Amino acid sequence: MTALATSIRPRIGAGFRMQWEPAQNCHVLLYPEGMVKLNGSAGEIMVRCDGERSIEAIIGELELAFNAKGLGPEVVSFVEIAGRQKWLTWE
């Protein structure tokens, strides 16, 4: 499998909804059959997947927000996994 192009613009998949859940103290991904509790990194990536930002832009925002470099491979890997789970979609 080849890595995703960083120019794609992922968005939350059909049937899913992201929200902050104060009781869980984290972002969650809601769907009709249940809920996925996201860890901090996954939540930070998912909230930026709005269909407007490219993966490249998301990586840049995260590296700036967390004063980190080299987050690209981890972000791409997560987006690929989330795509297989149908949490994210893109053209």
Report pLDDT digits (tens) over 71-80.
999 999 999 9
Query: Three-state SS for 88?
Result: strand
How many whole angstroms separate alpha carbon 55 and alpha carbon 51? 10
How many whole angstroms separate alpha carbon 51 and alpha carbon 32? 22
- The pLDDT-based confidence of 39 (bands split at 50, 70, 90) is very high
Is the confidence at residue 48, as pLDDT, over 60? yes
* Cβ contact 51:10 at 8 Å: yes
Average pLDDT over residues 51-69: 97
- The pLDDT-based confidence of 2 (bands split at 50, 70, 90) is low
- The pLDDT-based confidence of 27 (bands split at 50, 70, 90) is very high
Is the confidence at residue 54, as pLDDT, over 90? yes
How many whole angstroms separate alpha carbon 87 and alpha carbon 89? 7
**How high is the pLDDT of residue 1?**
44
Q: How far is CA 60 from CA 14, 19, 26, 50, 53, in A?
A: 26, 23, 22, 15, 10
